[in-house]
Structure 1
């Protein structure tokens, strides 16, 4: 079987809220798993520069203790007669935000040169929004061995299949923010199966691109190594 070097980076936090990129109004829902664009953004924050799909392949697992909805205030603005923004006369608004509590992310990267950016991050990694601060608990150099089958833990799988729990979501794998003065551009949308992060169990799986991490004590434990649609970007 094929064995390749990799990094295992573990991050933890108090809260996580991965806002769905296609939902812009109403109560703020969170996807059960971070999108691959979220992970590229987190790595980019640590690196201090933009990490693109061509820079590394990614496998991951995301767990949390529980989830709920919290109330959050918003600052409402309104345009005056001259088109200038001013505070809304009715004051602040209030809405609900879905939050995942005590999250943990196990990140597996094939680019081992990234070890230094996690040992000496330029910016603070976050589980979604800027207030969902994450901290790095360890960075390990490991090997991942290709497998035909195994047992997979909560993650985000492309090409949804029967036999796995979770929501089917349409998500971008990469969001381009390189053009100054313009809004971010989501690219390469795909269909994904977001497994519930609160379920502390594994599921039998047989498909391509499965790998066993060398630091796992469970011989059946596998991760899915994501194959980018925009690998050359």
Structure 2
């Protein structure tokens, strides 16, 4: 299987938890699938159907920290001004702390080789996370993936179903896809967020299972185990997807 391999590097990023406004804005430790979808569409310069591609990634950061941000809440009121009564804007400044990730590095794999020129010449500025989190592509190439039963997974997303097999990871509900054509309607799904390193030899097997996984032969190996990749979609698997208003 051939895949488009894109390496992105930046200075800061943050992937906020939706519906969380309590004076502190935490960040997911890994980019949610909805962030990947928006990032790819930004490079292409258009919204594509969620069925158009699959993705896998490896994401690391050099550290974490906090930033102080402000929200300006404005309201209109009537006031006396020269020349008559007019609307006056009044507002408050609400400070809050945001959890940020420092020096992110994203290795993104897509099953769309025909999009290579779009990433060489992205339509919009390259960002990851917030609009101010500028980044740059440092490597873009086509790689040939291999199937093997000896892989290691780390700093990546695995499907929720693998939570019963993996010896590490945290099950997390993440934004899976945001439909910008339907008033930004979000779809959520459960994933296994894996920051530690596990190998296929440590995975539990049931019955006569002999699974094989995709691996990138150009990535560094760990004790003979290649870098494992799990390709995700933005649709399907209705038992894991949750639609919220």
Q: Deviations over 1:66-87 (max 9, x none)?
A: 11212112212134269x7823
- Counterpart CA distance in 2 for 1:104 and 1:158 is 22
1:57 and 1:226 in contact (8 A); partners too? yes
Name which of 174, 177, 197 aligns with 1:174: 177
User: What secondary structure is seen at the aligned counterpart in 1 of 2:25?
Assistant: coil
Q: Which has the greater radius of gyration?
A: 2
C-alpha RMSD of matched pairs (Å) = 2.3
Equivalent residue pairs, number: 216
Report the alpha carbon displacement of residue 225 of structure 1 after superposing the two structures with TM.
1.5
Mapping for residues 137-156 of structure 1, pairs under 5 Å: 137-156=138-157
> What pairs up with 1:34-183 in 2 under 5 angstroms?
34-80=31-77, 86-88=89-91, 91-159=92-160, 160-161=163-164, 162-165=166-169, 167-179=170-182, 183=183
Between the aligned partners of 1:130 and 1:31, the Cα distance in structure 2 is: 17
Greater alpha carbon shift after TM alignment, 14-23 vs 56-65 = 14-23
Find the counterpart in structure 2 of residue 8 from structure 1: 5
Which stretch has the larger CA shift, 66-75 or 100-109?
A: 66-75
Partner-residue secondary structure (3-state), 2:37: helix
- Residue 238 (structure 2) pairs with residue 224 (structure 1): no
Measure how far apart 1:22 and its partner are: 3.5
Deviates more, 1:143-152 or 1:58-67: 143-152
Cα separation, 2, equivalents of 1:36 and 1:122 = 20
The 8 Å contact of residues 15 and 102 in structure 1, kept in 2 or not, is answered as yes
| 8 Å CA contact 1:77, 1:85 repeated in 2 | no
TM-score by length of 1: 0.83
* CA displacement at 1:31 relative to structure 2: 0.4
1:50 Cα deviation after fit: 1.0
Relative to structure 1, the CA distance from residue 85 to residue 18 in structure 2 (aligned partners, 3 Å threshold; closer, same or farther) is: farther
Listed as ranges, the gaps of 5+ residues in structure 2 are 80-86, 206-210, 238-245
In the alignment, the residues of structure 2 paired with residue 117 and residue 209 of structure 1 have an alpha-carbon distance, to the nearest angstrom, of 31
TM-score (norm 2): 0.80
